[in-house]
Structure 1
Amino acid sequence: MACYSFEGVVPVVDPTAYVHPTAVLIGDVIVGPGCYVGPCASLRGDFGQVVLEAGANVQDGCVLHSFPGAQVLVEADGHIGHGAVLHGCVVRRDAMVGIKAVVMDGVEIGEQAMVAACAFVAAGTKVPPRSLVAGMPAQVKRQLTDEDVARKHQGTLLYQELARRCAASCRPADPLASVEPGRRRRK
């Protein structure tokens, strides 16, 4: 990972977390136990703090940042989809922000809530727990069922396992010139 101290503040990464080598961590960033931070994610703690609590995942190409003195907080088991942007907001325990969603300053995503892919959650919005929000601007569409919450949680568990697998086996490699005979496929 590219890790930079900023004005004497150095990012903290728990030894059980996995941060991809192309991710960038700057300044006041805290990555908790069992977290996964994917390729090309940018966690900028140069103005405000960025905190990922235990088991949270921030997938490929995400940006987490805030205004001076503010914080981005992703609580335990938070799930941030590919390319999402979080700016000065809180994602409560076991909540999900979908692919390419934008979550603005002062937003609170309630516990076990879901933000749909490509949604825009306007500054100051409070998303109720266990609800689905979608649209531009995002609005509550419905309450989540136990099955919805369980399905989301299974996805989060997959990323927690991926953090362990990547720590154990993800290494730089030169590409092969051709497909080798009997090439193994991931299941």
Structure 2
Amino acid sequence: MPAYEIDGVVPVVDPTAFVHESASLIGDVIIGPGCYIGPFASLRGDFGRIIVGEGSNVQDSCVIHAFPGADAVLEPNSHVGHGAVLHGCVVHSFALIGIGATVLDGAEIGENALVGAGAVVPAGTVVPAASLAVGNPAKVVKQLDDVALEWKRNGVRIYQELAQRSRETLRPVLALTAVEPDRPRVSTGADVSRPLHEHRRSAADDSE
């Protein structure tokens, strides 16, 4: 993993965290226990401090940064989807930042909240706990029900497991030139996680 010192400040990564070798950590970055930092994520602590709390995940191609003297904070068990951009904000525990969303300076995403894919949360916005915010600018549209809350927590858990799987089994290889007979699948199937709309339909079927 590329890690860079600046002004004498060196990134900190807990030994139980997984940081992909293509991710970039610069300066005042603190990665807590059991975290997952995905490929091509950029955590640039050259102005403000970046804190990624225990059990959190920052997925592929995410960017985290802050203004000078400010912090970007992910509380324990935060969940940041592919390609999201976080700038000087606070994400509380078990909140989910959707794919491609942007959360700007001074914004606060409440515990268990969900910021929808592609949403833009303006500076200083407070998204209440366990609520759904969507759009540009993001607006709170409803409170999350128990099915969505359970689905989100499961997502955090499977990324914590992915951090462990990656530490134990991820390694560089040469790609094969052809698909082998009886090609195996990775250890996570649809029984582990599925999209929310499918999960909701399954939960409805189970209740009938």
Tell me the TM-score normalised to structure 2 length. Answer: 0.89
Q: State the shift of 1:181 in Å.
A: 2.1
Answering whether residue 189 of structure 2 is matched by residue 185 of structure 1, we say no
Give CA deviations for 1:42-88 in whole Å, capped at 9, x if unaligned: 00000000100010000000000011001110001100000000000
- Mapped to 1, the partners of 2:177 and 2:111 lie a distance apart of 47
Flag the structure with higher strand content.
1
| Aligned positions of 1:1-187 closer than 5 A | 1-186=1-186, 187=189
Q: Deviation digits for residues 13-60 of structure 1, max 9, x if unmatched? A: 000000000000000000000000000000000000010001000000
Offset at residue 177 of structure 1 (A): 1.4
Letter in 2 for 1:167: R
Kindly state the Cα deviation for residue 97 of structure 1 after the two structures are TM-superposed.
0.3
Give the letter aligned to residue 41 of structure 1.
A
Quote the Cα distance in structure 1 between the aligned partners of 2:181 and 2:110.
50
Give the distance between the partners of 1:172 and 1:27, measured in 2 at CA. Answer: 27
Report % sequence identity: 57
The whole-number CA distance in structure 1 between the counterparts of 2:127 and 2:49 is 22
How many residues matched? 187
The runs of 5 or more residues in structure 2 that have no matched partner are: 190-208
The equivalent residue for 2:196 is none
User: Which SS does the other structure have where 2:124 is aligned?
Assistant: coil
- The corresponding residue for 2:205 is none
Q: Letter of the aligned partner of 1:173 in structure 2?
A: V
Q: Which has the higher helix share?
A: 2
Give the alignment's TM-score, normalised by structure 1.
0.98
Unaligned stretches of 5+ residues in structure 1:
none
How far apart are residue 178 of structure 1 and its match?
1.4
Give the Å deviation of 1:148: 1.1
**Structure ID, larger Rg:** 2
Moved over 3 A (4+): none
Q: Which amino acid aligns with 1:177?
A: T
Which residue identity is paired with 1:121? Answer: V
The 1-side partners of 2:181 and 2:3 are apart by 39
How much does 1:182 deviate?
2.1
